[in-house]
């Protein structure tokens, strides 16, 4: 990993650095003991030429490490900036990362996004957790153009506490957002294999740009999971294969697909029947 440093001209020339953070999965789940490091990188794949949030993981106590995993799910090299990540692992073993992001704002502004992965970083869902946008700028009277760059994220029980600094009120203040994600342990029925087929409501919903769809398979079956427009037009086949018993997660839309604002329908079909969920994309 390479990190970033210097200043961001589009953000009032605030000073930035990589500021890597480390977290360990202390759950009793299948990834217990995994180590994660997150920082902001650029010009080193999978990061583009503008700053992206990149995760690395070790599944063997730090002996070996994965290549970079891009956390923010907007298109690469789109001119948008993600920086100052903070991370914590919740009791279900999910990775939760907040960061400053300007994909939905004008170039000089930002908001706080939460990215969450329930499969060790393979797929991500994202949601905006700040209820306002702000213009990053140096703290008056501070030194070296610092904005107040230490975001914090705490996973306590079933809640996530996201903290950051901004001066949207005219003064730099500490802001807090409390998020309650779904319990993955509850989805797995207390750690046992699921007892019935089920298609769980996606999270987050509404979503932008991607969401996670969870489905339960109590016995080995051929599973098809297909996404449709609200008019019934097929737009993506998410799953089409034999699956052994378990709880599965799939990202929608698939990588590389761009959706417009609207309602979509996800449908799961097995020989036992079919299940549908409506999902809402909002830009």
Q: Does this chain's domain 5-179 share its CATH topology with 184-281?
A: no
Half-sphere exposure of 225 (CA within 13 A, CB side): 27
Per the CB < 8 A criterion, the answer to whether 97 and 71 are in contact is yes
CA end-to-end distance (rounded Å), the chain: 31
pLDDT at 218: 87
Strand partners, 162: 153, 177
Query: pLDDT per position in the chain (283 positions), as tens?
Result: 999 998 998 898 998 888 899 999 998 778 999 999 999 999 999 999 999 999 999 999 999 999 999 999 888 999 999 999 999 999 888 999 999 999 989 889 999 999 998 889 988 888 889 989 999 988 887 777 888 777 999 999 889 999 999 988 888 899 999 998 765 443 444 456 788 899 998 888 899 888 999 999 988 899 999 999 999 999 999 999 998 888 888 989 988 888 999 999 999 999 888 899 999 999 8
CATH of span 184-281: 2.60.40.1930
Q: Is 107 left (phi over 0), alpha (psi -120 to 50) or beta?
A: alpha
User: Is 242 in contact with 215 (CB distance < 8 Å)?
Assistant: no
- Tell how far CA 188 is from the center of its chain: 21
- Mapped onto helix, strand or coil, the DSSP state of residue 123 is coil
pLDDT at 20: 93
Helix (H) and strand (E) counts in the chain: 1, 20
Give residue-wise pLDDT tens across range 57-116.
999 999 999 999 999 988 899 999 999 999 999 988 899 999 999 998 988 999 999 999
pLDDT at 160: 95
Per-residue confidence (pLDDT) for residue 185, from 0 to 100: 41
For residue 188, the model assigns a pLDDT of 46
Is the link from the previous residue into 2 a cis peptide, with omega within 30 of 0? no
Q: Is the distance from CB of 65 to CB of 56 less than 8 angstroms?
A: yes
CA atoms within 13 A on the CB side of 269: 8
Domain ranges for the chain = 5-179, 184-281
Supply the pLDDT for residue 182.
65
Q: Which CATH number fits domain 5-179: 2.120.10.10, 3.40.50.720, 3.30.930.20, 2.40.160.20?
A: 2.120.10.10
Please give the pLDDT value at position 265. Answer: 95
């Amino acid at each position: 990993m390479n990190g970033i440093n210097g200043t961001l001209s589009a953000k009032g020339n605030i000073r930035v650095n990589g500021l890597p953070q480390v977290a360990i999965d202390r759950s009793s789940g299948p990834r217990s003991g995994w180590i994660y490091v997150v920082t902001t990188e650029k010009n080193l794949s999978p990061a583009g030429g503008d700053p992206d949030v990149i995760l690395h993981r070790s599944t063997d106590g730090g002996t070996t490490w994965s290549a970079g995993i891009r956390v923010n799910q907007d298109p690469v090299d789109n001119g948008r900036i993600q920086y100052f990540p903070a991370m914590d692992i919740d009791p279900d073993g999910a990775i939760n990362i907040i960061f400053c992001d300007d994909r939905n704002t004008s170039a000089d502004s930002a908001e706080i996004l939460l990215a969450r992965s329930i499969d060790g970083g393979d797929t991500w869902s994202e949601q905006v957790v700040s209820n306002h946008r702000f213009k990053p700028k140096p703290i008056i009277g501070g030194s070296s153009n610092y904005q107040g760059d230490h975001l914090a994220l705490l996973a306590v029980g079933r809640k996530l506490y996201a903290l950051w600094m901004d001066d949207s009120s005219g003064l730099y203040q500490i802001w807090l957002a409390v998020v309650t994600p779904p319990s993955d342990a509850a989805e797995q029925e207390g750690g046992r294999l699921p007892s019935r087929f089920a298609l769980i409501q996606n999270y987050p919903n509404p979503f932008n740009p991607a969401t996670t769809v969870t489905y339960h398979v109590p016995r080995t079956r051929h599973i098809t999971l297909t996404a449709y427009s609200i008019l019934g037009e097929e737009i993506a086949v998410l799953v089409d294969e034999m699956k052994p018993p378990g709880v599965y997660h799939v990202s929608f839309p698939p990588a590389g697909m761009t959706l417009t604002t609207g309602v979509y329908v996800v449908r799961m079909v097995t020989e036992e029947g079919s299940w549908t969920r409506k999902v809402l994309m909002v830009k």
